[in-house]
Amino acid sequence: MIDVFIEHDDCDDEGNNVAINSTITEQSIPKNIVNSFVSVNCENNNQEIEKDVDYDELGSDNEDDEVREARFLIQDEKKAENEYLNEEDSLVRLAGRKGKILEDNDGDYEDDSSDFESPPNSEDEDDYGYLLPKDSKKKKVKMASNQLFFGKNEQQCPFYLGQEFENASEFKKAVTNYSVRIGRDLQYSRNDAKRVGVKCKVENCSFYIWTSLESCKKTFIVKTLKPQHNCGRVAHIRKLRASWIAETYHAKFKVNPYLKCQEIVDTIWSEWGVKASLWLALKARRAAQTLILGEYKEQYGLLYRYSNEIMKSNPNNTIKFKLDNGIFERVYICFDAIKKGFLAGCRPFFGIDGCFLKGPFGGQLLVVVGRDGNNQMFPIAWACVEVENTETWGWFFAATSK
What phi, psi does 106 have (nearest 5°)?
-85, -10
Instruction: Identify which of 226, 295, 220, 200 has the alpha carbon closest to the alpha carbon of residue 254.
Output: 295
Is the pLDDT at 50 greater than 50? The verdict is: no
Which has the higher per-residue pLDDT, 147 or 221?
Answer: 221
Nearest to 230 by CA among 189, 275, 200, 209: 200
Q: How confident is the model at residue 14 (pLDDT cuts 50, 70, 90)?
A: low
pLDDT at 20: 47
Q: Which residues pair with 71 in a beta bridge?
A: none
Most distant CA atoms of the chain, gap in Å: 147
Is the per-residue pLDDT at 332 higher than 90?
Answer: yes
Q: Are 197 and 189 in contact (CB under 8 A)?
A: yes
Q: What type of residue sits at position 52?
A: D
Mean pLDDT of 55-70: 62
The CA distances from residue 162 to 8, 67, 80, 159, 211, in Å, are 101, 59, 45, 9, 9
* pLDDT reading at 139 higher than 60: no
What are the two backbone dihedrals, phi and then psi, of residue 348, each rounded to the nearest 5 degrees? -80, 50
List CB contacts of 27: < 8 A, sequence separation 6 or more.
1
Residue 254 pLDDT more than 60? yes
Q: By mean pLDDT, which of 40-54, 157-171, 309-323 is the weakest?
A: 40-54
Of 272, 377, 398, 283, the C-alpha closest to 334 is 398
Residue 76 has phi, psi (to 5 degrees) of: -65, -40
The pLDDT of 233-252, averaged and rounded, is 91
Q: At what angle do helices 261-272 and 65-98 cross, to 10 degrees?
A: 90
Mean predicted lDDT score pLDDT of the chain: 76
* Residue with more model confidence, 164 or 1: 164
How many CA atoms, within 13 angstroms, populate the side-chain half-sphere of residue 107?
12
For residue 9, is pLDDT > 70? no
Whether the full predicted model's pTM is greater than 0.85, yes or no, is no
Q: Cα(341)–Cα(378) distance, rounded to whole angstroms?
A: 9
Q: Band of the pLDDT at 326, cuts 50, 70, 90?
A: confident
Q: What percent of the chain has pLDDT over 90?
A: 38
**Whether pLDDT at 100 is above 70:** no
Q: Number of H helices and number of E strands within the chain?
A: 11, 12
Cα of first residue to Cα of last residue in the chain, in angstroms, is 129
Q: Which amino acid is at 39?
A: S
Determine the Cα–Cα distance for residues 382 and 361; give it in Å rounded to an integer.
18
Q: Which residues contact 378 (CB under 8 A, 6 or more apart)?
A: 338, 341, 342, 346, 369, 370, 371, 372
Q: Are strands 164-165 and 350-356 parallel, antiparallel or unpaired?
A: unpaired
Is the CA virtual torsion 375, 376, 377, 380 positive or negative? Answer: negative
